[in-house]
Structure 1
Amino acid sequence: MSEHARPSRSTYHKGPVTLRGSQVPESTFDERLLAPTSGSEDWLHADPWRVLRIQSEFVEGFGALAELGPAVSVFGSARVRPGDPEYALAEEVATELVRAGFAVITGGGPGIMEAANKGAHEAGGVSVGLGIELPFEQGLNSYVDLGVNFRYFFARKTMFVKYATGFIVLPGGFGTMDELFEAVTLVQTGKVRQFPIVLVGRSFWSGLIDWLDSALRERGLIGPRDLDLFYVTDDAVDAVRHVTTAANGLAAKEAAMHEAATDGVD
């Protein structure tokens, strides 16, 4: 058996395909896409065809989520377990989002993602999971009502932003930080507007915020008000209230723009 094989994995999800046993691949689509070329010219033929597969992921994602309605993406660690305070907090956040009229979007995995999907599902809302092909991926959790599996991170990350009114971010690791800073960068650069980002858990986030303030803001590496691009709270109701206020403000602004554009038109 190859030293790179993964015999411990009994089930592997590759987009919409499920593989088991000897069919489990030794690398992911992202891994093969980003791998350096070996000097062979095979990439000249393989990579252009990958574009069609990437295109299909965008088409599938757009088609599945186009009629979702107002939604908020919730992020956090896959390693949090039921019974942990963060798990219960994520459930509460999702429940409050459903009560406020939002669908809940997560990465579809375990931990905080599962908790948020559970909270949305049990509150009678729409629970969305956007899965990703990973060597250790466990598939979508059982609380996902609408699930889409992706091969490529960048296609999946587009869906998190495109179909969300905002982000609520709970404690997490590298993946959570990746989503957080991508969202902050999109807002900072004006690629998305009126997009609230809420960090839940002051004790967890305070060290990062202090570092951003001293190492970046004080040195002029970010703008003087860039730390205002996200809102920090310990309370689920407060987190959802912040997102709701921003969504209502955007709706009012769009209504005013539409009225101005149609003013005087028969």
Structure 2
Amino acid sequence: MSDKTTDHDRYMRGPVLVRHGGRQESTTDQRLLDTQNSTDWLHEDPWRVLRIQSEFVNGFGALAEMPPAVTVFGSARQGEDTGYYALGRELGERLAAADYAVITGGGPGLMEAGNRGATEGGGMSVGLGIELPHEERLNPYIDLGLNFRYFFVRKTMFLKYSQAFVCLPGGFGTLDELFEALCLVQTGKITNYPIVLLGTSFWSGLVDWIRERLLAEGMISPEDLDLVMVTDSPEEAVEHIRAAHRGMAREADERAARDAADDARA
């Protein structure tokens, strides 16, 4: 019997990869957020703040010189033999051809598809992983990878270093990321970057519900529907992103020209 250790024996502890020790019973987020049954947390939580700070510092340092990037969200559970995987792979290739880096959650499935397409297209492929009991490794198509202990730190990195967001079909994690981006754009907390839903048959029910319930009952404004584009075409998705960025660049130039004219008159 060989004692050689396989990839399946490797586990991530935040940014650290270990070969022994087995799966964790809980995650760092869970230990931070669970109700405390004693006052020991008074002595432990201040040190957690330093760990959180270090994750921000490491993330900012690693990603500070990123080129313009698009984050691709999607399910970890869709394999290479699915149509969604092929869609994500083509999307990654087209984003790379348009000179965008591709950022994903670094996991398997449709995240891997986006990273793989970017790598095959000659672009920069980035993975921002998270400590989870059931996902231990970053996928093999990543040029720059970080693994985070805390979800909220990781989410900040997606939002800070992306100029657009594309959601492939996915589950609760993808929905969480989609609605966080939507909320922050709607409220002006981040720039009005394009958000694309790729896969009309998958997303149409959600879009109909948003229109028929949220809009119809006055929960959102009519213009909020324009925050999302839905398409089946990776080509159309990338062109939508490029057009939005060209428009932003024109607005920035016009604003700078107006400011210069105001300064000259003053």
> Normalising to structure 2: TM-score of the pair?
0.92
Partner of 1:200: 198
1:75-114 superposed matches below 5 A: 75-114=73-112
Residues in 1 aligned to 2:31 and 2:139: alpha-carbon distance in whole angstroms: 26
Gaps of 5+ in 1: 1-8
Deviation at 1:214, TM superposition (A): 1.6
**Aligned-residue RMSD, C-alpha:** 1.4
Aligned counterpart, 2:57: 59
Shift of 1:146: 0.4
Instruction: Pick the aligned partner of 1:142 from 134, 140, 143.
Output: 140
**Could you report, residue by residue, the CA deviation over 1:156-175 in whole angstroms, capped at 9, with x for unpaired residues?**
00111110011011100000
Q: Which amino acid aligns with 2:73?
A: F
Equivalent residue in structure 1 for 2:154, among 153, 156, 161 = 156
CA drift of 1:25 comes to 3.1
Alignment of 1:34-53 (within 5 A): 34-38=33-37, 40-53=38-51
In 2, the alpha carbon distance for the partners of 1:62 and 1:214 equals 40
Counterparts of 1:256 and 1:214, CA distance in 2: 38
Secondary structure of the residue that 2:39 maps to in structure 1? coil
Partner of 1:171: 169
Question: 1:24 deviation in Å?
Answer: 4.3
Structure 1 residue aligned with 2:28: 29
1:234 and 2:232 correspond: yes
1:71 and 2:69 correspond: yes
Shift of 1:138: 2.8
For the residues of structure 1 that align with 2:112 and 2:79, how far apart are their CA atoms?
Answer: 9
Query: How far apart, CA to CA, are the structure 2 residues paired with 1:209 and 1:251?
Result: 29
- Compute the displacement of 1:15 (Å): 2.0
What number of residue pairs does the alignment pair up?
256
Which residue identity is paired with 2:176? D
In structure 1, the partner of 2:4 is: none
1:211 equivalent in structure 2: 209
Identity percentage of aligned residues: 58
User: Residue 4 of structure 1 aligns with which residue?
Assistant: none
1:19 aligns with 2:9: no
Q: Counterparts of 2:257 and 2:65 in 1: how far apart (Å)?
A: 24
C-alpha displacement of 1:77: 0.5
Could you tell which deviates more after superposition, 213-222 or 63-72?
Answer: 213-222
Give the distance between the partners of 1:114 and 1:30, measured in 2 at CA.
24
2: distance between equivalents of 1:107 and 1:45? 32
Aligned to 1:188: 186
Displacement of 1:257 after TM fit?
A: 2.5
Q: Which amino acid aligns with 1:161?
A: L
> Cα deviation per residue 1:80-107 (whole Å; 9 max; x = unaligned)?
1112111011011111111111000000
Match of 1:121 in 2: 119
Query: Could you tell me how far apart the structure 1 residues matched to 2:46 and 2:171 are?
Result: 33
**One-letter code aligned to 1:171:** P
Q: 1:194·1:246 contact (CA, 8 Å) conserved in 2?
A: no
Secondary structure at the aligned position of 1:105 is classed as strand
Over 3 Å counting, the alpha-carbon distance change for 1:90 and 1:23 in structure 2 is closer
Which residue of structure 2 aligns with residue 3 of structure 1? none
Distance in 2 (CA, whole Å) between partners of 1:45 and 1:261 is 52
Q: Distance in 2 between matches of 1:253 and 1:51?
A: 40
Contact 2:9 2:22 in 1 (8 A): no
The residue matched to 1:261 in structure 2 has which SS?
A: helix
Q: Secondary structure at the match of 2:222?
A: coil
CA contact (8 A) 1:194 1:250 kept: no
Residue 23 (structure 1) shift: 5.7
